[in-house]
A = this chain, B = another copy of it.
Amino acid sequence: MGNIEKSLGELAEYLDAELVGDANHRINGIADLQTASASELSFINQESYAQYLAECESGAVILSDDFADKYNGNKLIVSNTYLAYAKVSALFESLSALPAGAHPSAVIATSAEVHPSAAIGANCVIGENARIGAGVKLYSGVSIGDRATIGDNTLLHPNVVVYHSVCIGSNCIIHSGTVLGSDGFGFAPVRGGWEKIHQLGAVIIGDNVEIGSNTSIDRGALGNTVIGDNVIIDNLVHIAHNVKIGKGSAIAGCVGIAGSATLGEGCTVAGAVAINGHITIANNSHFHGGTIVTKGNTEPGVFASAPPQQDVKKWRRNSVRYTQLDDMSSRIRQLEKQLQALLAQNSADKS
């Protein structure tokens, strides 16, 4: 930050916001309400932060009508504050753009088609018959397998690996260390070991998909693993062969999705969730962090399974009881029967 500067007038126009204040005031970054300086922009979208408005030294605050009266400084009034913050964040992105063309150290197969506007970083390797679209940016050390396709304006950070025949759409961002198209975990059991099932499908990734770092998406066994348009996937996520993820779904960090699971559109999967294979999850399903998803569902819903956090001493005692739950249930049943018999007897005795 620091190199990019915009006037509040420019920002108001960019955001289609109502500006109250000095249109010539210049902004060179974004910060939160408590720490923003006069050259930085802030935003507020929760009542709990309203306490900071009085002392706020920000150059301007993005806010909705609800908060407009509570702030006296420069303000940009919008209908969707969080979306406005997202949009303005793009202006202050500090990742340097790669220049178009291929770095001399890149190794590009002669049969590969690389659009002249694409940027190919140092030590990238591009395989036979691969196609690299317009405006693509491959940062250093990216490996693109034979016959893989990278759609227009997609950006791959250093050391991403794309296996052969994988197809990535347009306007995607893939972070470092992520591997797309490794073999699915498919083996036929044989005496003492396993016979590999060669994974003949590919991975098909839609448009506007972002994938975090060190995530793995396996190619299909037969047919493809498919990630829909507008899906967002975080770091260290494992997506097994032939998984399908519907449009617009969000998968947080450390999630694992087993083979041939189908996740609908508009789902959110919180961190550290594990989803079983060969199940189908309905559109607009939501899973809390740490859920072990063992079965599919057909209606939208919110699901969880994580046991509660406890002090370790309490946890030890309750854990023992957990292993006795079925017995506890039988004892309750037995008590109910005995008590009912006793009450019936008492009633009979009295009549």
Complex CA gap A164/B223 in Å reads 38
Query: Residue-by-residue, is A302-328 near B (CB-CB < 8 Å gives 1, otherwise 0)?
Result: 111111111110111111111111101
Which chain A residues (186-235) contact chain B, with CB distance < 8 Å?
186-188, 190, 192-200, 208, 210, 212-216, 218, 221-223, 229-230, 232, 234-235
Interface residue count on the A side (C-beta < 8 Å) = 140
- A276 at the binding interface (Cβ < 8 Å): yes
* 23 A-B contact pairs sorted by A residue (CB < 8 Å): A29-B200, A30-B222, A31-B222, A31-B223, A89-B197, A90-B196, A93-B200, A105-B107, A122-B125, A125-B158, A143-B158, A143-B176, A159-B159, A161-B177, A187-B232, A192-B247, A194-B250, A258-B271, A291-B309, A303-B311, A318-B326, A328-B329, A335-B339
Query: Which residues of B lie under 8 Å from residue A65 when comparing CB positions?
Result: none
Instruction: For residue A73, give the distance in angstroms from its CB to the closest CB of chain B.
Output: 18
Complex CA gap A125/B140 in Å reads 7
A216 contacts B177, C-beta separation under 8 Å: yes
Complex CA gap A319/B306 in Å reads 8
- Within 8 Å by CB of A312, from B32, B303, B329, lies B303
- A351 at the binding interface (Cβ < 8 Å): no
B223 contacts A212, C-beta separation under 8 Å: no
- A6 at the binding interface (Cβ < 8 Å): no
A123 contacts B141, C-beta separation under 8 Å: yes
A240 contacts B253, C-beta separation under 8 Å: yes
A258 contacts B250, C-beta separation under 8 Å: no
A212 contacts B183, C-beta separation under 8 Å: yes
The SS class assigned to the A binding surface is loop
| Given A140-B125, A177-B177, A292 contacting B272 (CB threshold 8 A) | yes
| Given A89-B200, A94-B165, A250-B194, A179 contacting B274 (CB threshold 8 A) | no
Instruction: For residue A128, give the distance in angstroms from its CB to the closest CB of chain B.
Output: 7
- A252 at the binding interface (Cβ < 8 Å): yes
Instruction: For residue A72, give the distance in angstroms from its CB to the closest CB of chain B.
Output: 23
Query: Which residues of B lie under 8 Å from residue A294 when comparing CB positions?
Result: 289, 306, 308-309
Which chain A residues (142-195) contact chain B, with CB distance < 8 Å?
143, 145-146, 157-159, 161, 163-165, 173, 175-179, 182-183, 185-188, 190, 192-195
Query: Residue-by-residue, is A249-266 near B (CB-CB < 8 Å gives 1, otherwise 0)?
Result: 010111010100000001
Complex CA gap A220/B309 in Å reads 27
- A87 at the binding interface (Cβ < 8 Å): yes
- A71 at the binding interface (Cβ < 8 Å): no
Complex CA gap A346/B318 in Å reads 35
B31 contacts A127, C-beta separation under 8 Å: no
A274 contacts B271, C-beta separation under 8 Å: yes
Query: Which residues of B lie under 8 Å from residue A250 when comparing CB positions?
Result: 187, 194
CB closest chain-B residue, reference A304: B315
